[in-house]
Amino acid sequence: MKTTLLIGFVILIAAFSLVMAGDEVMRKSEKSTFEGKLTCTSCDLKTAEGARAQCSVYGHEHGLKTNDGKHISFLHNQYSDDLIKGEKYHGQEVTVQGTYYADANELDVESFTVDGKMKS
């Protein structure tokens, strides 16, 4: 009887762990919307933290500086190209929608809104 209860308990714990692991995966990559300013992350780090960024040599690579001061990088693809290059929208407030990969701090952009106009 004790053995049967113990085996049942172990199976229940294992099943619960699998469900929770699946839930964790969903939280790590989920559809999200972020608001903030389009900035060159390297320039920001150089100014604020003294990072050894060399944008004049390697070029600027923009990301989103959220309203709470965190930086989010964009996954390189056709949807994020204008944002990453930053020439069109540098310093502007943007709202960006896409799939956020928390472990990598990367946003796979689906669309973004700047000056009230949605781009996708």
**Nearest alpha carbon to residue 76 among 62, 58, 92:** 62
Listed by start position, the domains of the chain span 30-119
Which is higher by pLDDT, 37 or 119? 37
* CATH number, domain 30-119: 2.40.50
Amino acid at 92: Q
pLDDT tens-place string over residues 24-62: 444 568 899 999 999 999 999 898 888 999 999 999 999
What is the average pLDDT across 53-73?
94
Task: Report the predicted TM-score, pTM, of the whole model to 2 decimal places.
Answer: 0.71
Per-residue CA distances from 108 to 1, 11, 42, 84, 111 (Å): 53, 37, 20, 12, 9
Length of the chain in terms of residues written = 120
Indicate whether 87 pLDDT > 60. Answer: yes
Which is higher by pLDDT, 13 or 95? 95
Which is higher by pLDDT, 110 or 12? 110
